[in-house]
């Protein structure tokens, strides 16, 4: 709290009159909104979807009772007009077979990893104001790893840590994370913050210097490298790795 009060005083220091009043008002507004920032993913972006999902799953339960679906959550594999048709007539088409095909297609797509780049990128495109969130242009100019036992990404939170890696693909695997392990994942969101109290380092496939994993890692003082692109393919649970959050290099030690 003392650090915060000191920072607030430093911001307005030397500013007088009407300009100080406007600056103070902007500062107060910013401080009031800051707590919302890490939670917006849940409360703004996903709030509507969450409520729609509750209604959809309840429809799914009724369709299971009618014999049209095998599980209530199968309803999410149906398109809007398909669902309307099925609600009117549960025997209108073979929904179970359709859901099975789409589930298989989703699982196949989930395993595909897109290339880092398609086509060419101009200097102007790389300098786009919001590009820093995704690690551009740094990722574009990063080049290939110098050694086969090296994964390169973006420096996100300074420090060097060495320890066992733990690859986590979803929230269901959180309970597998052990104290002092280095978390390797595709990306984080506010739900992953609970792991930051246990891990000693972080490596992500996506993100840039101002992305969620980078910001939270700095807040917790955890060395982190983000935007590696393929860390999940190169690093397996149990591998001993060294994370250098100042250089953006992760060494796979064995």
How many residues are given for the chain?
254
The residue from 166, 212, 234, 242 that is catalytic is 212
The residue ranges of DSSP E strands in the chain, in sequence order, are 150-152, 154-157, 160-167, 182-185, 201-204, 224-226, 240-244, 249-252
* Active site (annotated) includes residue 212: yes
| C-alpha dihedral, 135 to 137 to 138 to 141, nearest 10° | 140
Percent helix, percent strand, percent coil in the chain, to nearest 5 = 50, 15, 35
Report the distance separating Cα 203 and Cα 225, nearest Å. 5
What are the residue numbers of the active site? 212
């Amino acid at each position: 709290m003392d650090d915060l009060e000191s920072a607030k005083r430093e911001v307005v220091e030397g500013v007088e009159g009407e300009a100080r009043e406007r600056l103070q008002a902007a500062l107060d507004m910013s401080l009031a909104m800051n707590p919302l920032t890490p939670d917006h993913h849940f409360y703004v972006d996903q709030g509507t979807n969450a409520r729609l999902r509750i209604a959809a799953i309840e429809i799914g339960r009724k369709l299971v009772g009618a014999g049209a679906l095998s599980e209530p959550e199968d309803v999410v594999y149906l398109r809007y007009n398909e669902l309307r048709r099925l609600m009117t007539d549960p025997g209108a088409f073979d929904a179970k077979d359709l859901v099975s095909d789409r589930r298989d297609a989703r699982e196949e797509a989930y395993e595909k990893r897109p290339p880092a780049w398609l086509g060419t990128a101009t200097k102007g495109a790389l300098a786009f104001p919001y590009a820093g969130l995704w690690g551009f242009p740094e990722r574009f100019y990063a080049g290939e790893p110098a050694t086969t036992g090296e994964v390169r990404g973006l420096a996100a939170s300074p420090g060097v840590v060495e320890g066992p890696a733990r690859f986590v693909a979803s929230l269901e695997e959180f309970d597998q994370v052990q104290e002092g392990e280095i978390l390797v994942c595709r990306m984080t969101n506010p739900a992953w913050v609970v792991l930051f109290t246990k891990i000693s380092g972080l490596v992500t496939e996506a993100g840039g210097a101002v992305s969620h994993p980078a910001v939270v890692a700095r807040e917790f003082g955890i060395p982190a490298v983000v935007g590696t692109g393929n860390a999940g393919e190169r690093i397996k649970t149990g591998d001993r790795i060294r994370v250098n959050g100042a250089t953006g290099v992760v060494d796979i030690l064995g």
